[in-house]
Structure formats: C-alpha cells, structure tokens
Amino acid sequence: MQANNDLSALSLKQNVTTAKNFLEYHDIGISPRKFKFKVKLPKVVRKNKEALTKEDIIDILNACSDIRLKTYILLLASTGIRATEALSTRECDYDLEADPPRVLIRGEYTKTKIDRIVYLTNEVVKQMKSWLEYKYRTRRICYFDKDVDKTKCEYRTPTKNNKHLIFSVNQLNQQDPSLQSYMLLCQMHLLRH
C-alpha cells in the first residue's frame, strides 16, 4: 500500500492498528515480538506548524470585507482562543467596559471543560463595539403582505438579547477574489500559535 502512495504513513499505521484490534477481538492471538519482527511500519513524519506572522494577520484582516468575519478573526488572532470558543460567546460574556476588558469563555465549550477569563486588546474592543453597533442597526425590511396583495417596506431594529451568540457560522464565499489567496493558506486554528 505504501509503495503505491495510496496511504500516508499515519493512515497506514492506523489501519494496521485497527486490523490488530479486530483480530484480537475475535480471539486471534498476535505475538507482539513476532509482529514487530515481521512488520515494518513507516515512520510518521510530523511537520512543524508555524504561526502566522503579524503581517499575514494584517493582510487577512485587510482582505475581509465582512465586519463579522473581521471581528471574529481579530478576536482569534489577538486572544488565541479556539474557533469554537469564540463562536460560543454571548454578549453577556463580554465585559468591554472593565479595566482590562475581558471575555468569559464558558467551560462547556472549552477543551478542558473549565471556565476561564481571557483579556482583550483595545483593538478587539473597538472592533467588537463596531460589530455590535452594526449588528443592531435599524434596517429596511421588505416583505409581501398577502392580505393586501402588496410588497411592504418598513424600518426595524433587531431586539437586543444578551444571551444571543455574538457570531454565527457562515461559509466563506469562495467566489470572493479578496479571500481566495488565503483560503488554502490559512486555517483558523493557526491563529492560536
């Protein structure tokens, strides 16, 4: 399998382990000494992940045309929190007026299952306030009213609820040329390093 380059070394190792577990489950004995002598598994080469540079992060932020995405990426880059932790934050978790400003990361969404407080930079606070102002702006809503058989337009302001999540997940628009160069290059988890 390895000679045909069908599987990586790690996949091959996992397949062999699965096969061994299957055989042992069905009471087929495998001598570890004989197995080690007869089967040579390839070494798994682990590549070193490098953190993004400050210039890379600035380029990514400048390429973001969506204010929600820009706020999300800035939060990830400046705090080092995990992507799911950022997505699980609510308005009531943020204390932007404190000195220093902070956000509570709830334990049910963390890797360690323990609540923790993360401090925010002034840039994140400014961007977060801009995002919240934009999120709760008055909008023109048009809808079709079946009763009068007409399209009606009116202005509405979304109701503010501190228990709502700050961000929601949307897929990146792959047609957006400003983001295409970063889509393959950047994984959100790299912002933690």
What are the residues whose beta carbons fall under 8 Å from the beta carbon of 180, sequence distance 6 or more? 174
Helix/strand/coil for 187? coil
pLDDT computed for residue 192 by the predictor: 55
- Rounded to 5 degrees, φ, ψ at 30 are -125, 120
pLDDT computed for residue 107 by the predictor: 93
For the stretch 112-152, pLDDT in tens is: 999 999 999 999 999 999 999 998 899 888 888 888 888 98
DSSP 31-43: -HHHHHHH--PPP
pLDDT computed for residue 179 by the predictor: 44
Whole-structure pTM over 0.95, yes or no?
Answer: no
* Nearest to 185, CA basis, from 98, 91, 55, 88: 55
Packing angle, helices 67-79 and 54-63, rounded to 10: 160
More confident: 148 or 184: 148
